[in-house]
Amino acid sequence: MVILYVETNFAIGIAKGQDPESDRLLKDPPPLTRFHIPSICFMEALSTLKSERKLSAKFRADIETRLRETRRDMTSENAAVLVRHLEEVVVKSNLLLDEIYYRLRNVLTDLNRSAQILPLTRTMVDDGLKATLLGDPTDGLILTSILEHARSDPATTKVFLSANSKDFDQEPVKQALKDAGIKYFKNPNDARGWIESIARLTNSESEPETKHE
């Protein structure tokens, strides 16, 4: 088996349509691959959606203000055209937000059904709050959860996939992952290729040698 650790950005990238390769990886993982995700990532993903809604509401409010001003021009054909476009922008913005929510709900549902969820323990919280490898405390808890779980299962092949290279693609973090027996990848295709290569190597080593007369 291969343990594939993912975090919040995995779900958000799929929900926002920014990472179709991760979506394919979730729906069709390599054989004997089991997703693992810290429980805190579910709450963080929903909080991110809440922030997205606030940004979208501000955007729509700005558009509505522009619409009110543009509608006051009763003579310009350009104003009339702009009003129609701005009205369509408001509609499409609402539809896009609904689509993001729908995709996020599906991703979190799939992970809840297929992944092993890593619960926060008192030790994880204590270590995460003391962690100095990452500046963001939530990312610190995510990293601590993954490291603690990895150390509890040293024999299994482990991979961590995160496009959040700003935080996780740092030498101290990568070294901590390596020390825990975890291979780090930023790209889902690279992670898939490496896992599949490990599987092929394992299969070839397990095949009995052909005897020659």
Q: Could you report the per-residue pLDDT of 8-28, keeping only the tens digit for each?
A: 999 999 999 999 999 999 999
Give the chain's length.
213
Is pLDDT larger for residue 73 or for residue 131? 73
Q: pLDDT value at position 54?
A: 93
The span from the first CA to the last CA of the chain, in angstroms, equals: 36
Query: What does the longest C-alpha to C-alpha distance in the chain come to?
Result: 96
Q: pLDDT value at position 206?
A: 56
Asked if residue 209 has pLDDT above 60, the reply is no
What are residue 138's phi and psi, to 5 degrees?
-65, -45
Name the amino acid, one letter, at 165: S
Q: pLDDT value at position 15?
A: 96
Reported as a pLDDT band with limits 50, 70 and 90, residue 132 is low
Q: pLDDT value at position 202?
A: 65
Q: What percent of the chain has pLDDT above 90? A: 74
Backbone conformation region of residue 17, classed left if phi is above 0, alpha if psi is from -120 to 50, else beta: left
In order, the DSSP letters of 21-39 are HHHHHHHSPPTTEEEEEET
Reported as a pLDDT band with limits 50, 70 and 90, residue 213 is very low
Calpha distance 213→194 (Å, rounded): 37
Domain ranges in the chain are 2-204
CA angle 178, 143, 177 (to 5 degrees): 0
